[in-house]
Structures are given as structure tokens and as C-alpha cells.
Structure 1
């Protein structure tokens, strides 16, 4: 599974010394980058080329369609992850996305492309990604040793940062140069390459009585989604806080293209700059989040407060460098929040609950994305983009306060890391102070 370190006392990065995890991680980078490139590019295409007068609604509807599968298919995704080979599921998801993108590329190259075809392709890509992401999160213990879980989580969370960075840089630019045909072709190549990479990897067989390949004579008990969240009230409270925050943070993917077109009067390069600033900040936050001091709820509340200030900046100052800096700060906060909370999930959630839990986590956190996309898209056709930025900022303040007022955790992250097998940590007693789990913004 692993290669030797380069020298005594020094270790190579996890993606280099664990070739299996490195290949799967690179596959995730490619799938998410391809999907993100498609979303950014088609959103800009709708606002700048296809739609007339109602570009905000058109882009908002695209983003809503792109997030519905993760919410609507959560129970199906959980069952598929629990019953199917993880490698086969990951490979099928990547190959399915590549096929859908290739079909759209061929259609766009052969004739005029109807807008409905773009929406259909976005739905297909999002459906494949809804299976891919939670399956990979669940598979981390099958790819790395226990002591590498935090490092693997950091790399996995950084994937979205890399995807946002790469996809944002390329999406709008590719549309300006090659249209939707070139955009879809690039997405198809990225997903096809990911499917090939995953085919070369061997996953460890689970030895805890869970997952595909487990001993059928001793099946681990599985709980429903309601039972899982019901047994983790503190986790549920944190998820609700971040779900409320996502109603305002995720609107940035609709607001920024509108801001570029109506306030900055820019082109695809400007969209790429702003989107890349957000992705770069998230990437930095993913790798530095573990060093941020304080309890997760305190750190998370501070990050939401900082995001509120940063998102208000474009509503006051319409200067490209200033806005790029504000989005860099916003992205950094997103990365920190993800690392601080999701790493705890890997240790605190029982292994038998992980397939369902990570699927429902993605669904709960993404539930507001379609609403936010449609709401801010509609508002964007009637209010200025600057006003939308100020609305985003104001909406984060209550969520930050609610997170700050939650009870403190029973054990510190350091204690959990030092004693990962403690059953009281993984299964806290009902009378004990609950331990926080995860949240994040996407």
C-alpha cells in the first residue's frame, strides 16, 4: 500500500507514499474539476451568451439542477455505498459522467445546442458526483492506515479547492474560446481519465464486519438515517447551523458571474480570476485548518464571521484586486471549517453508519443550495449584484452566533487523536456532553 520514506525522520506526502490513495485522490481531483469547470463555464455561457434579460434566473436554475441529486438521492446513495464494491461504484460514477459530457460535446459540435440539453447534462454530471464523493469519503479507511486518516481527510477536502481553482480558471475561458462543445469535451476527458486511474487501484477489504466483502455470517447492525442523526444531537445541531450558512455562502456561485457582467463589465477572464481566488483560498484553508486553535465550534463561528465581512466587501468596493482578496479570505474560511469538522466525523461516526452518514451529511449541507441558487438568481434580475453581496453577508451573522452558542465538546481533538479506539468517543453515552462532528460549506 505504501512506499518507503525518502529518508529517516522525513516522510513523503501521503499521496506519494500511498500510491492507492494518491491515484483515487487524483481521480477525485479530475472528476470534481471537470464538473466544476462545466458548472462555471455553462453558468457564464447562460449569462453572457444564451440568456437575454433573465440571466440570473437561468444561472440560478443551472446551479439548482446541479445540486438536486445530492439531496434527492441520499438514501439511494447510502444503500449503494453500503452494498456495492467501492472501487466499482467510483469507477462507474466517473465513467458515467465522462459519457454524459462526451455526448453533449458531440451534440454541440454537430448542431445548435438547446439550453435544455445543457441542463440535462448538468443533472447527469451532478448525479454521478453525488455517488462519487460520499463513496470516496467512506473508502478512506480502506485506503490508508489509521494514523493517516487526518492527512487523507485534508487531501480529500483539498480536492474541492483544487477543483474550484482549476475548474474556475478554465470554465469561463474555455467557453469564450471553444464554446460549450470544448467545455464538455474537457469534462469528458477529465472524468474518463479518473475512471482509468481508479481501475488500477486495489482497495483493502473491510475487516470490521461492514461494507462489501464483509463476513455475511456476522453482519454489523445498520441504522436508518433518522436513527443516526437522532443518536448524535450535537452533530445534528452543527449540521443545521452550516445548512443555514450555506443558504448564503453557496449563492456566491450565482452572484459572482452576475457581479462580473453587471458591475465590473468583465469577460470570462474576470470570472476565472474571482472563482480562482475562492478556490485558492479554500485550498490554503484545507492544508492549514488543523493549525487553527480553539474548539471547532469557536473556530467555525469565527470563520463564519470573517466570511460575512469578506462577502460584504464587494458590496462596498468594486475593485477587482480587492474583491479577489475578499474571496480568497472566504475560501480560506471554507477550507478551515471543512478540515476542523470532517476529520472528527471519520473517528466519531461508527464504521457501520458511515455510508449512510456521509450521504446524509452531503444531502443536509446541500439542501439549501437549490433554494439559494434559485432565490439569488431571481433576486439578481431585480436587485443589483452589490445588494446581493450585502444580503449574503448579513445572512451569515445569525448562523455564526448560533454555532458559537452551542455547548462545548467533551473531549479535545488531540485527545481523540491520541485514543481513536475509545468506544466512549465513538459512541458517546446519552447523558454525556456530545462531541461535535462536522460541517462545512460548499
Structure 2
């Protein structure tokens, strides 16, 4: 026993220099030591096992804390990500150029059907076919465009597509000025625009994740939805004013100018794009297309998103052609007022894009896609109420609500599929979704035009709104409904 722990006898007081006195009282007994236990002779553990056991003993035990460790939030550090995205110069250039381009495209969306109605007296079926002509190339060439985009640098494809669309649109006012513009030429122009829009959109969706990084995709997609919202806000109103002021044929020059601005912005991006993989021989093009299809259909969340939203999109986009006929023939409103009404859809989408990430955090990814998209489709069924009250009192709030709520679903579904796809498959994944989503778009436009000619525009709006809502709510029966947050980038 160490000296510090042993029991010591008290010292006797001294008288001067004399001997010590013995203390009075009984003498304390020495503390008895417990008998030493004999250790059992066990085989000695190997050094590596003994070291591992000592290392585990030094680790902090989770039982020491009575409070459970907090779970990491799927949207942590969102404010820091927002600041990082806005500070990135190249993303700001891409965002600004695309905003101007989308505003110009929104002008053309209003100007072309208006030109067909007023200059060539096109009926509902012809207007529906014209609106569908720009979307027809998506189911035809999108899959092959995705495979080709993954072989080359995507920014170059975007620049070439912008230049081609600029030349197509510039030809319309030239032909109108010399008196040679025909209705079939508008169909050809719409289809040509659709072909190069396929290549631009597939490249664009594949280019953004590499530009901003995996941890910034949610905020980048939220900001890019502001682009689409600004286009819906400014484009239709600007288009209506331009159509009344200079005519529908000259109004498309704004869109041609916007493509020039987008091209300059893309050329100003400094970040070098990584070199794509070695180009495969032509006989492997179909194999690469099949790889993209297997990727999308092999993941349950992506498969459910693709099938449910495609079915809903057929009916959700069927309102567009009947809306023009309903506004011009039934309500007797001017192009300027219709443009202002459509602009309210963009105002709502712009407001919703700023809070979309918080809605996704609250509801979860799958529920946001289902409920937000379903609500945006359902409120369109209220548009025919404009026959009984003032059109402005109905269409302004209805279109505002549709844009404000639906944009959260758009942000969630785009970010989810980008998060689940590796970089080398981004182009093919986007082409698969563009093939199905935008392939359903012209089918819905054509269906809406034919139904409006058969049963009338108001009944068409009611029926298609109901069926589109049911398609979105079908996500409740799929694994996508249970997806709460975005996974780490593949």
C-alpha cells in the first residue's frame, strides 16, 4: 500500500527535547489487506485484437449522453448556399442571359397564335396544332439529342442552338414585309424552333449541375425558376403591347434579339467545361440511349415521377389552345388584356420561387411534387367562371395561384432527378424526361384544340383540369410520395 494511503500513528507531543510520549488510548489496529485474487490463466489475445479493443474503449460511448444526437437536416446551411450561388459570376451570367431569352420566348408564345388567328383566321384545331408544332420535336429527337449532348461540350451546343433560333425568327417579319408569309410557314418555323429548343434545353439541364456543384443545385434551380417566372410576368404583357403597337409579325423580333443576348452571356462564361468522354462509334448510339432509359426506369422515384407527371401533363397542357379561343371569341378581350392576365401567372410563380425551398423542406420532396402540381392544375378549372362575372376578377387570381403553388413542385422534381443522376448521364436523363414531359405537351395541345372544337372551350377547361389533378395525386400510391429530402449527388 502506498505511503499516502497507509494509516499512520499519531505523533506523541514532545516536552522540549525529551523523548516522544506514547499517545493515550488504545493503539489503532493496522488495516488488513484483502486477499489478492488469482487471475485465471487465459490465452493472451493477439496484439492486433488487443489494440482494437483498447481503441474501442477510448471512443466516446453514445450511452453517456441522455440527449439523442440531432439528425442532420436535409436542407441545412441553405442561407450559405444562397450566398454562394449569387456570388458565382458564371452562374449570374447564365441566369441573366436565360432570363432575357425566356422573356423573348414568352413574347413569341403569344405572338404566333395571335398572328395565325388575326392574319389567317385560324380555328381552334389549327391553333392547337400550331402550339403543338413547337413541342412535337421533343418526343422525336430528344432521346438521341441527349446521347449526342453527353459526347460534346454542352455550352457549344447551347450557343449553336441560340444562333439557329435567331435566324428562324428573323425570317418571319422579313417574309411578312414582302407579303410572302403563309400559314404553313408559321408551322415550319414553330417546328424548327422546337428542334433547336430540344438541343438547348437538354444541354442546359445537363450543364447547370457541373457549373454550380452538387450542394448548390436546389438554390440554383430556385433562381432559374425566377427566370421562367419573370418570363411569364413580363413576356405576355410585353407581347400584347407589341402585337397591338407594331403587329404580331414584328413582335417576334424581340425574341430574336433575346437569343443574341443569351449567346453573348454564354460566351462570357470563364469556367472551363470538363472534356467529355471519348465519342462512341455510331453503332453505340442506341446503346447509350438505352443506358439513359435504364437509369430513369431503374430508380423507383424517377420512374414514378416520369409516369405520373407525364399522364398529368397531357391534360394540364390541354388548356392552352382553348384558353386563346375562350378569351378572344367568348370573353371578347384584347391581346393586351390577355397578356396582362397571363403575366399574373408569372408574378405568382416569381413569388412562389422565393419560398419554394421552404415549402419543400416542410412537406417533403415527394408530397410537394404531388400536391403543388395537382393544385396548379385544379385551379385552371375555375377559368370558365369568367363567363358569369368580370373576366379580370376571375382570371387574375386564378392564374396567380396556379403559378405561385405550382413552381414549388417544379423546383422539387428538377432538383431530385439531378441529384439522383451522375454527371455523365445528365444529358440522357434530361432527354428522357423531355421526351415524355414535352412529348405529352403537344399531345395535350392537340387534344385541347380538338375537344374545344367538339364540346366547347369551357367544358374542355373543366374536364382537363380534373384529369390533370388526378394524375398528380396518383403519386400518393408510389414510392416517390415517401421521399423527404434530396439525396447526395450521384
**In the alignment, is the contact (CA less than 8 A) between 2:378 and 2:468 conserved in 1?**
no
Following the alignment from structure 1 to structure 2, what is the Cα–Cα distance between the partners of residues 396 and 258?
Answer: 20
State the distance in 1 between where 2:328 and 2:85 align.
39
Q: Secondary structure at the match of 1:224?
A: helix
Distance 2:132 2:219 in 1: 32
Task: Sort the Cα spacing of 1:284 and 1:80 in 2 relative to 1 into closer, same or farther, 3 A.
Answer: farther
Unpaired runs of at least 5, structure 2: 1-78, 280-286
Query: Relative to 1, partners in 2 of residues 1:382 and 1:397: Cα closer, same or farther, differing over 3 Å?
Result: same
Distance in 1 of aligned mates of 2:242 and 2:182: 19
Match for residue 340 of structure 2 among 247, 250, 273: 273
1:70-111 Cα distance to aligned partner (Å, 9 max, x none): 221112211231122222111111111111111222222222
1:337–1:381 Cα change, 3 Å: same
Counterpart of 1:83 in 2: which secondary structure?
coil
Q: How many aligned positions are there? A: 400
Match of 1:228 in 2: 295
Match of 1:108 among 176, 193, 208: 176
Structure 1 unaligned segments of length 5 or more: list them: 1-8, 207-211, 427-442
Q: 1:25 to 1:298 in 2, by over 3 A?
A: same
Corresponding residue number in structure 2 for 1:344: 416
In 1, the alpha carbon distance for the partners of 2:245 and 2:84 equals 37
- Residue 410 of structure 1: CA displacement? 6.4
Structure 1 pair 281/163, CA: closer, same or farther in 2 (3 Å)? same
What is the CA–CA distance in structure 2 between the aligned matches of 1:337 and 1:365, rounded to whole Å?
14
Listed as ranges, the matches of 1:361-380 within 5 Å are 361-380=433-452
- Check whether the contact 1:281–1:331 (CA below 8 A) recurs between aligned residues: yes
Partners of 1:35 and 1:125 within 8 A in 2: no
1:70 equivalent in alignment to 2:138: yes
Q: For the residues of structure 1 that align with 2:240 and 2:445, how far apart are their CA atoms? A: 19
Report deviation, 1:112.
Answer: 4.3
Change (3 A) 1:12 1:79: closer
Q: CA deviation at 1:199?
A: 1.2
**Is the Cα–Cα contact under 8 Å of residues 47 and 257 in structure 1 kept in the other structure?**
no
Are 2:475 and 1:403 equivalent residues in the alignment?
Answer: yes
- In 2, the alpha carbon distance for the partners of 1:49 and 1:357 equals 40
The verdict on how the C-alpha distance between 1:173 and 1:398 changes in structure 2, with shifts beyond 3 A counting, is same
Please give the alpha-carbon distance, in whole angstroms, between the structure 1 residues aligned to 2:331 and 2:247.
22
Partner of 1:3: none
CA contact (8 A) 1:47 1:258 kept: no
Q: State the partner residue of 2:209.
A: 141
Taking the aligned partners of 2:80 and 2:424, their CA distance within structure 1 comes to: 35
- Equivalent pair of 1:142/1:203 in contact (CA under 8 Å): no
Residue 94 of structure 1: which of 162, 165, 173 is its match? Answer: 162
Instruction: Report SS of the residue matched to 1:324.
Output: helix
Residues 1:273 and 1:398: Cα distance change in structure 2 (over 3 Å): same
2:149 is aligned to 81
User: Are 1:278 and 1:331, in contact at CA under 8 Å, matched by a contact in 2?
Assistant: yes
TM-superposed CA distance for 1:396, in Å, is 2.2
Tell me the distance in 1 between the aligned counterparts of 2:483 and 2:180. 59
2:29 is the alignment partner of 1:29: no
Aligned partner of 2:186 among 115, 118, 122: 118
Q: Kindly tell me: are residues 95 and 12 of structure 1, through their superposed partners in 2, closer, same or farther at Cα, counting changes over 3 Å?
A: same
Contact 2:366–2:484 (8 Å) recurs in 1: no
Matches of 2:83 and 2:344, distance apart in 1: 25
Aligned equivalent of 1:332:
404
Secondary structure of 1:204's counterpart equals coil
- In structure 2, the partner of 1:254 is 321
CA contact (8 A) 2:304 2:480 kept: no
Aligned-pair RMSD on alpha carbons? Answer: 2.5
Distance 1:410 1:263, change over 3 A: closer
CA shift in 2, pair 1:76/1:266, >3 Å: same
- C-alpha displacement of 1:51: 1.6
Match of 2:117 in 1: 47
Moved over 6 A (4+): 9-12
User: Deviation of residue 22 (structure 1)?
Assistant: 1.4
Instruction: Verify the 8 A CA contact 1:314 1:323 in the aligned structure 2.
Output: yes
> Is the contact made by 2:341 and 2:395 (CA closer than 8 Å) also made in structure 1?
yes
2:363 aligns to what SS in structure 1? coil
- Alpha-carbon distance, 1:303 to partner: 2.1
- Residues 397 and 150 of structure 1, relative CA distance in 2, 3 Å threshold: closer
CA contact (8 A) 1:143 1:204 kept: no
Which structure has the bigger radius of gyration? Answer: 2
How many angstroms apart in 1 are the aligned matches of 2:306 and 2:298? 14
User: Residue 199 and residue 397 in structure 1: after superposition, are their counterparts in 2 closer, same or farther (change >3 A)?
Assistant: closer
